[in-house]
Amino acid sequence: MTADGVRTFLRGLGQTLITLGIVVLLFCVYELYFTNLYTDKEQSRLGDAIHETWAAPPSPSPSPGVKLAEIPLGSGVAILWIPRIGMVGRGHAKVVVEGVGTEDLKRGPGHYPDTALPGGVGNMVVSGHRTTYGAPFNRIDELRTGDAIVVESRDTWFTYRVTSLRVVKPTAVEVIYAVPGQRDAVPKQKLLTLTTCNPKYSATTRLIVHALLDSALAKSSGEPPALTGGA
């Protein structure tokens, strides 16, 4: 290859690498910025919808033997507050959606169907993104034993306290059992489990946060101490 040919090749290679760099940069901007805009819009919509639902008179209790209606996938289940990582207040607390499918998790942290509901006996399991689509669980690695995680329902504040953090393989489904690690055990405690990818920008493992219900406070009595600085 002549000297001119080498120069032409290197010039072409350089232009190709620059183009690829721009494409990668644009992709990163999309992943880290535009996906957040989408989730912010969805969270605002979900927040309006769930508060409107809570403001309406509750549905009458079903007759004995009548099964409760399933929660529609993608709809709001509760609102999640985590003071340690700044997830407090309108716009920062996150509406938890029903479902953990791809589209559900784009809207916000997702509640695993068939796991416990807020304040219920068993294990309420919530999964969320760590880097894209609002990254609701970006900082949950900062949680410490005893930290409060507050779940807001229609009429009650449920305050859970962190009991442990651990990293597991993606195949470790036992963390979402009603009694974590025991598939057939009968649950007696009221647990909350948060799950997310680990480490950041990777999905090689999962970060798991377990918490135990500490208190329940009627919303008519005001906000719980965990949100007012009382504890």
Q: Which two tokens stand for residue 181?
A: 């690690």
Query: Is 9 inside any structural domain?
Result: no
Query: Is 47 inside any structural domain?
Result: yes
Label the pairing between strands 205-218 and 148-152.
unpaired
For the ranges 27-36, 96-105, 112-121, 197-206, which has the lowest average pLDDT? Answer: 27-36
Using the structure block, give the residue that is written with the tokens 């920008």.
201
Query: Is 189 inside any structural domain?
Result: yes
Using the structure block, give the residue that is written with the tokens 């990668």.
24
Look at 229 and 7; give whichever has higher pLDDT.
Answer: 229
What span, in angstroms and rounded, lies between the C-alpha atoms of 193 and 171?
A: 16
Backbone torsion region of residue 189, taken as left when φ is above 0, otherwise alpha when ψ lies between -120 and 50, otherwise beta: beta
Quote the pTM value: 0.83
Contacts of 38 (CB under 8 A, 6+ apart): 106, 133
Query: Is 95 inside any structural domain?
Result: yes
Query: Is 15 inside any structural domain?
Result: no
Task: Provide the pLDDT for residue 229.
Answer: 82
Q: Please give the residue range of the domain that contains residue 135.
A: 31-56+75-228
For the ranges 4-8, 39-43, 53-57, 191-195, which has the lowest average pLDDT? Answer: 4-8
Tell me what the mean pLDDT of segment 40-61 comes to.
89
Query: Is 14 inside any structural domain?
Result: no
Query: Is 50 inside any structural domain?
Result: yes
pLDDT in tens, 124-133: 999 999 999 9
Q: Which two tokens stand for residue 91?
A: 């716009």
**Total domains in the fold of the chain:** 1
Burial label, 99 (beta-carbon count in 10 A; 0-12, 13-18, 19+): buried
Query: Is 22 inside any structural domain?
Result: no
Asked if residues 208 and 163 have their Cβ atoms less than 8 Å apart, the reply is: no
DSSP state of 155: S
Looking up residue 150, the CATH number of its domain turns out to be 2.40.260.10
What span, in angstroms and rounded, lies between the C-alpha atoms of 78 and 160?
A: 14
For residue 42, give the amino acid letter: E
Q: Which two tokens stand for residue 64?
A: 């004995």
Tell me what the mean pLDDT of segment 17-45 comes to.
65
pLDDT in tens, 176-202: 999 999 999 999 999 999 999 999 988
